[in-house]
Amino acid sequence: MELQPSDSLKIIQEIIQQRKQKYEANGFFLLFWGALIALSGIVQFTMLISDFYPKQSGMVWAVLMPLGFVVNFVILFRNRGEQRKAFLSADWLDWAWFIAGVIALLSFLIPFTSWNNYEIAILTIYFPFAFVALAVALQLKMRLWVTTSLIAIVIIYSVLYCPYGIFLPLLCSIVACLLFLIPGIQLYIHHKKQQNV
């Protein structure tokens, strides 16, 4: 049996819609990580500008990010049966998110202080997430997320040329809002509309 072009297009549209529904249902994780990273950056920036233990301000990240991973896994595996099926049938984008997360986690273990700046940390942590977010946004055909991902990539790359200094944590908050929080809000709103219809 040969597929007609219209049948192929219909199958592709169904796959895109299923993936979009999956991200809308899991939009919580985008909201969670966007808010957590933005909060971490704002708290560290506040500690730096107020001269409140500025040398220990990096501990905000060292405490909140592992805590976020623990909360994330607890929520993910709360319902083991469904999550096992979802894990086994994960598509390549799920694995891309996982790999980006592992890279970010490993980046926290690298001694960046030997470089006397944290620009490399920003690149190693945020670039993988930015490109995965862009891939997801392109696949879901979400123009807003594509736009925010591209803006985030430009901002992340700008750390090589612009000395942000004390404003680097605030920059992390902005990137988190662009990559996670804004798309998460859009997905959450769309999911709520779908449920009410």
Mean pLDDT by 10 residues, the chain (197 residues): 58 57 66 93 93 86 86 72 49 79 77 59 86 89 92 92 88 94 88 73
| Non-local CB neighbours of 42 within 8 Å, separated by 6+ positions | 169, 170, 173
User: What are the residue boundaries of the structural domains of the chain, listed by start?
Assistant: 23-82+99-196
pTM exceeding the 0.95 threshold for the entire prediction: no
What was the pLDDT predicted at 192? 78
* φ, ψ for residue 118, nearest 5 deg: -115, 15
* Predicted pLDDT of residue 117: 60
Cα gap 168→58, rounded to integer Å: 12
> In this predicted structure, what is the pLDDT of residue 17?
58
What's the pLDDT tens digit per position in 41-53? 999 999 999 988 8
Q: What is the pLDDT of residue 90?
A: 54
CA–CA separation, 197 and 193 (whole Å) = 6
